[in-house]
Structure 1
Amino acid sequence: MGGDDLGLTEAVSIALGGMIGGGIYAVLGVVAGITRAAWVAFLAAGVVSLCAGYSYTRLNAMTDNSGGSVTFVQCYLGNSDLAGMLGWTLLFGYVGSMAMYAFAFGEFAVSFVGVPVSVGGVPARPVVSVLAVAGFVALNLAGARTSGSAENLLVAAKVAILLAFGALGVAYALGAAPRTGLAFGVGELSSVGPVVAAAVSFVAFQGWQLLFYDQESIADAERTIRRAVFVAIPAAVLVYVLVAVVTVSLAPGALESHPHLALKDAARTMLTPYGLGALGGTVLALSALFSTGSAINATMFSSAHLAKGMLDDDLLPDRVGDGDANGAPERTLALLGAVTAAFTAVGSLNAITSFASLSFIVVFGAMSLLCLRERDHESVHPAPPAVGALGAGLFLPLMANNLRTREPETFSAVLVLVVLVVGVELLYFKHEALERRVVPIESERIDDALDGALDDAIEEFAERSDEE
């Protein structure tokens, strides 16, 4: 093991940081808006993610080529077009994730006392979000990256703040304010609401994938990543469940009026009896800024390197970036940043979250099916990939139907995005097949037109000859 190799602690930090880093701050308000049993939604999404994680680790162990979803499809199916389309879907999912983090960053930044809600009639939130994205593009262009030891400390601090938030919230609800109690939303467990919310929250569990793109830096990568995934996902579920129960219990009004900042209101409520309400809200908001910011940075780094690998395999057009670049290609980073900025500036948080979750449901479900296909291998138990595939297959239509019935405008926006993404993918990867089909048709039409024109000319010439 070299001095710069990352061990289990660092790997867990990367995976956990990718999930805790921004998911809870950006997603909780959206999830709680669907069901007050938000903790069940996070638990269900966590179980499906853990099964998908099992599929990833098994597929990774059975191939000599390190990588993630794109590599697995190439290795096990030998289909570059399908691998490329899956890679594009994953990239768009990462863009949606970064836009979601940037949206939450802007919301919490504008929530500080003294920060104007608008400047010159322009809302401040989109401006702050776009500036945040631009700042992290610049950091990645400069090659800045957190060291393993620093990452451990930063993730530990973020998790500690959220665990303290949860513990103090439970103590407040059961002790300082016994009439408050803890709200578990038991009455909603018989409805599809928690399952729909689980589908929407899926994006909050995608961070562990980042490990598969940087295996060269991890000591004993196969074993270390497998252990890190099985530690990080349950830990993230624990934190999400605790924070969800506390927030729904202490800030139900905030979840109705300004759901994106409900955690800050809950922190203020639980510390008010000690005269620390303002401080609690400020600390929570600062943690949100730091967490969402670091999530943007980590996701941008990983998505740029994913794109670089796809450029090397000719799965992205050359104009997107240079696959031979030392580090992340500059044009790729700029393009990712530009699309992310556009998403976060004009999109609603519900639409962005739903689109990103949809992307990861497709990818996680596909990898679970791929692993299930390899169930005859002695190291693959069919149950986890089956649960992963079934869960993803259930989440997809439920989320679509929920959006269609409850938020038709959001549904329309997500549908347009999906059609555009799939359309672009098909045009890029299937353009040769389309040309082979279109060209003969066009040639046949041209021949028919020429034949028709020739017949008309002959007929007209014959008529004139008869007249003469």
Structure 2
Amino acid sequence: MASEQLGLTESVSMALGGMIGGGIYAVLGVVTGITGPVTWVSFALAGVVAACAGYSYNALNDVDDDNQGGSVSFVQSFVGNSTLAGMAGWTLLFGYVGSMAMYAFAFGEFTVALEGVPDSVGAVPLRPVVSVAAVAGFVGLNLLGAQATGSAENVLVAAKVGVLVAFGLGGLVSVTTGASGATLSLGLSRITSFGPVVAAAVSFVAFQGWQLLFYDQESIENPVETIRTAVYVSIPVAVAIYALVALVTIALAPEALRSHPHTALADAAGAITAPFGLRGAGVLVISLSALFSTGSAINATLFSTGHFAKGMLSDDLLPDRIGDSQAEGIPTRTLLVLGGVTAAFAAIGSLGGITSFASVAFIVVFGAMSYLAFRERDRDRVNPLAPAVGLVGTAGFLPLLFWHLYTNQRHTFYVVVAISVLVVAVELLYFERDAIEEEVESVEPDIV
């Protein structure tokens, strides 16, 4: 094995870091606002569908010996349609941009929530300014060529996961011993409602990140087996941590979830440490952890997305104006475009809108990969059950997500629909431009 190759530990760290890096801090408030005490069920449902999509990715990666490399490569290999492959790639790019905007939004929220930090300076709200500054800072770091090694990623993920596990276990002890005066509720009476399923659809973006492993298989030792194991380990661990954090936060900070849901974890951490006279320390630790986690998630996702975009440039699936595929590392223009669009989303969007848009993108792509795997069910190495569950799950999530937005967030619904239609229209105009040109040229003589 080459010394620079990643083993199983590093691969699990990358997959887990891609999900937990900022997901729980960004989506918890949105999800609890929909389904309350059964948020843990929503995370479990989303995790099951994500795991089935993970199986589909692994199955396609296993049977596609000549063209391993993720969603775009799978569409090219199993469908043979470059337009569909390009559209899958563009949809993923917008999903990653939405994820980064979601992390940047949460970064700004937790910054403003720190003691002594004002909500605005003059008449200018500080949250959007901080979010844009965070994106700009990490674009600058990537322009300098900064990147984490596999060993460093192990440390970073261990720190992030360690804080959340300590928070969850500390919260359980606080609740079960009566130290906080709170009670733990599983919300079993609401499990049979549509709420948990709708919330699972909204939270789906928190379970992306593991698929980035498929785009850099050359740097992973024994990639097919290593990635398969990393996916199957990381998703259940993420589900367990999300569910634990949700249960504790709902028990310890119900009022905070209603009044300022985006930073309710800090209030819950304060409740855990309050009996020891350390409320301020608890709030500070979880707030700094949120800043560290969301910040590193922006950086890691920007780095991976930049390389993904560069690969699409090499395959002529993106316009040359977006970057030079021959550049060393990530093309400068590519980073600037990704950073600019991300900053715009983070500055003017709502957290619910950004989360919903990103979830739509990943639901569509993960559903498509589940469909491709199900189509290959006659192969010995493909069991049709998991792809079928992934396909049915994503097919159910998509209309439920739009229904929820239409009935509860009408403005967000129109924004998400408009962006989705615009993205598809731009994709078709770009990838079918030659056919459109031919049609126009054939019509022009008749008009003349």
TM-score range, shorter chain: over 0.9
Q: Deviations over 1:400-451 (max 9, x none)?
A: 00000011011011111111111111110112222333343443233xxxxx
Establish whether residue 28 from structure 1 lines up as the match of residue 28 from structure 2.
yes
Q: Which residue of 2 aligns with 1:6?
A: 6
User: Which region of structure 1 is more displaced relative to structure 2, 109-118 or 349-358?
Assistant: 109-118
**Matched position secondary structure for 2:177:** helix
Q: Which residue of 2 aligns with 1:385?
A: 387
Contact 2:180 / 2:272 at 8 angstroms: preserved in 1? Answer: no
Aligned positions, number: 446
Q: Which residue of 2 aligns with 1:466?
A: none
Contact 2:13 / 2:157 at 8 angstroms: preserved in 1? Answer: yes
Q: Which residue of 2 aligns with 1:265?
A: 267
**Matched position secondary structure for 1:35:** helix
What value does the CA root-mean-square deviation take over the aligned residues?
1.1
Q: Which residue of 1 aligns with 2:420?
A: 418
Residue 178 of structure 1 deviates from its aligned partner by 7.2
Establish whether residue 54 from structure 1 lines up as the match of residue 83 from structure 2.
no
User: Which region of structure 1 is more displaced relative to structure 2, 434-443 or 141-150?
Assistant: 434-443
Which amino acid counterpart does residue 244 of structure 1 have in structure 2?
A
Residue 179 of structure 1 deviates from its aligned partner by 4.9
Structure 1: distance between partners of 2:265 and 2:90: 33
Correspondent of 2:397 among 381, 387, 395: 395
Report the structure number with the largest CA radius of gyration: 1
Structure 2: distance between partners of 1:405 and 1:441: 44
Residue 196 of structure 1 deviates from its aligned partner by 0.4
**Matched position secondary structure for 1:229:** helix
**Matched position secondary structure for 1:176:** coil
Percent of aligned pairs with the same amino acid = 64
Q: Which residue of 2 aligns with 1:407?
A: 409
Correspondent of 2:131 among 129, 132, 140: 129
Q: Normalized against structure 2, the TM-score is what?
A: 0.98
Contact 2:13 / 2:153 at 8 angstroms: preserved in 1? Answer: yes
Residue 356 of structure 1 deviates from its aligned partner by 0.1
Which amino acid counterpart does residue 391 of structure 2 have in structure 1?
A
Q: Deviations over 1:272-330 (max 9, x none)?
A: 11111110010000000000011101111111111111111111010010111111111
Structure 1: distance between partners of 2:3 and 2:447: 68
Contact 2:180 / 2:275 at 8 angstroms: preserved in 1? Answer: no
Which amino acid counterpart does residue 262 of structure 1 have in structure 2?
A
Q: Deviations over 1:40-87 (max 9, x none)?
A: 110000000000001111111122223110011011111111000000
Q: Which residue of 1 aligns with 2:368?
A: 366
Contact 2:180 / 2:252 at 8 angstroms: preserved in 1? Answer: no
User: Which region of structure 1 is more displaced relative to structure 2, 334-343 or 269-278?
Assistant: 269-278
Which amino acid counterpart does residue 98 of structure 1 have in structure 2?
M
Which amino acid counterpart does residue 44 of structure 1 have in structure 2?
L
Q: Deviations over 1:147-198 (max 9, x none)?
A: 1111111111111110111111111111134752112222221211100000
Q: Which runs of 5+ in 1 are unaligned?
A: 447-468
Structure 2: distance between partners of 1:173 and 1:158: 23
Contact 2:4 / 2:219 at 8 angstroms: preserved in 1? Answer: yes
Contact 2:180 / 2:271 at 8 angstroms: preserved in 1? Answer: no
Structure 2: distance between partners of 1:208 and 1:248: 27
User: Which region of structure 1 is more displaced relative to structure 2, 148-157 or 97-106?
Assistant: 148-157
Residue 136 of structure 1 deviates from its aligned partner by 0.6
Residue 233 of structure 1 deviates from its aligned partner by 0.5
**Matched position secondary structure for 2:5:** coil
Structure 1: distance between partners of 2:328 and 2:62: 28
Establish whether residue 117 from structure 1 lines up as the match of residue 119 from structure 2.
yes
Correspondent of 1:277 among 268, 276, 279: 279
Establish whether residue 440 from structure 1 lines up as the match of residue 442 from structure 2.
yes
Correspondent of 2:253 among 251, 254, 262: 251
Structure 2: distance between partners of 1:374 and 1:150: 38
**Matched position secondary structure for 1:19:** helix
Establish whether residue 40 from structure 1 lines up as the match of residue 41 from structure 2.
yes
Structure 2: distance between partners of 1:229 and 1:58: 12
Q: Deviations over 1:360-399 (max 9, x none)?
A: 0000000000000111110000000000000000000000
User: Which region of structure 1 is more displaced relative to structure 2, 316-325 or 429-438?
Assistant: 429-438
Structure 1: distance between partners of 2:424 and 2:204: 20
Structure 1: distance between partners of 2:30 and 2:189: 19
Correspondent of 1:72 among 68, 74, 79: 74
Which amino acid counterpart does residue 2 of structure 1 have in structure 2?
A
